[in-house]
Amino acid sequence: MKLDVDVLRYLTKEDFRVLTAVEMGMRNHEVVPSELVERIAALKHGGTYKVMKNLLKHKLLHHDASKYDGFRLTYLGYDFLAIKTLVNRGVFSAVGRQLGVGKESDIFEVATEDGTVMAMKLHRLGRTSFRAVKSKRDYLKHRSSFNWLYLSHLAALREFSFMKALEEHGFPVPNAIDCNRHCVIMSLVPGYPLVQVKQLENPEIVFNTIIGLVVRLAEHGLIHCDFNEFNIMIDDDEKSTMIDFPQMVSVSHRNAQMYFDRDVECVFKFFSKRFNMSFHECTADIDGSAVDTDDSGRPSFTSVAKDTGFLDKELSASGFTKKDQEEISKFIEGGIKKDASSDDEDTEDDEYISMLNEANTIGVDSLHMVDQERYSETVNNDYDVELVKRLNKVRQNAVTVARGGQKTFASRNAYKDKGGKSSNSSKVQRQLSSW
């Protein structure tokens, strides 16, 4: 999907308010009813339908009238919400060219006011080339239903957490700067992907360094799971940097040895084909770590000393037992900072939008992955008390309207959708009354 940020400068405060209202409604709706969007947005002078019509024109919303008149966010609309929040925080002020396209993300250049260039990674799970995320990733855990935007948010939060922790433990990774929704801001890594490098002055040194990174990760309790020439950056001094971390798992994962051997095999296979290296000699000392190897010189997973650190448990990587999860949950609960919100009922528009945007970054400071239930509970209890009160009031009013408790007043900009059904149809009322 093309990211055209020129549209961003023409969007008004009301546009972002309606986008945020749709985002809130998608927490428990696949398609958010039109009436619910209007009530959550609560524009002072009405005109919600006119705003939604403008957002539809720019493809920030998608209209769905198959079951009832409703809307959902597109990835472009989600991009704009994340970019707007990060710009308001002062993280960056300009978006530049596209650096790369992956099977589950897009990467762009961003710059600060003083000219510092960084990288912005937008996770886009659900593409045609990568829709089997439920079987290939463990973001869902025990949940049976999911939303692609929420899964992208989980992937971004997970990558930011791993990147921050690995940087603190001395691994060569980009500097994690900030995270919001499905967007991760990191330092721009100098150099090129290893797959684009045709010649190295010291391929043996680079090879031992890269294999050493795989072993060091295992010693800290983690396995990259996608460690190949596409996710390794090489600069002019032939220094290696790891990228792309959402798929990392624990060494106690049931398939940990398979993932470890696959990462090692990818490195061996690439250097053998690209640089014609032979591996008959036993590499008993790889990057300063004494590791047993097999006949071909490949590190053995069973011989890796996995007692250097416990990043898998600290970051809630997949693979450990339920008992371990309970112990880590206590640590997570103690690590999350609570901040009581104000109880004042009169909130300005800027504060209202800012409060909604800040709720999307809960849990980043503690660098722990939390599941959807804990995420929703924490946000509701700690960060947006006033917002939850308003949303509950909106739901009560909607139920009252659906049961005939009061008359509805259509917006002056109300319109009929393509199917010719009114936004106040009986299907919408039945949907609201089923809450």
**Looking at the annotation, which residues are catalytic?**
226
Cβ contact 286:212 at 8 Å? yes
Amino acid at 214: V
H or E element, residue 75 = helix 75-89
Q: How far apart are CA 41 and CA 33, in angstroms?
A: 12
Residue-by-residue DSSP string for 96-139:
EEEEEE-SSEEEEEEE-TT--EEEEEEE-TT-TTS--HHHH--S
Position of tokens 């260039």?
Answer: 117
Residue 146 backbone zone (phi > 0: left; psi -120 to 50: alpha; other: beta): beta
From the list 33, 30, 111, the residue with the least C-alpha distance to 69 is 33
Position of tokens 């909106």?
Answer: 394
* DSSP β-bridge partners for residue 223: 249
Cβ contact 202:238 at 8 Å? yes
The CA–CA distances, whole Å, from 296 to 128, 228, 268, 304, 338 equal 38, 19, 10, 17, 53
From the list 295, 243, 290, the residue with the least C-alpha distance to 268 is 295
Query: What percent helix, strand, coil does the chain show, rounded to 5?
Result: 45, 15, 40
Q: Is the dihedral of CA 403, 408, 411, 412 positive or negative?
A: positive
Dihedral of the CA atoms 385, 387, 389, 391 (nearest 10)?
-150
Q: How far apart are CA 62 and CA 64, in angstroms?
A: 7
Instruction: Using DSSP bridges, classify how beta strands 183-187 and 176-180 pair: parallel, antiparallel or unpaired.
Output: antiparallel
Enter the tokens of residue 364.
């980043």
421 contacts: CB under 8 Å, gap ≥ 6: 65, 69, 427
253 contacts: CB under 8 Å, gap ≥ 6: 223, 259, 317, 318, 319
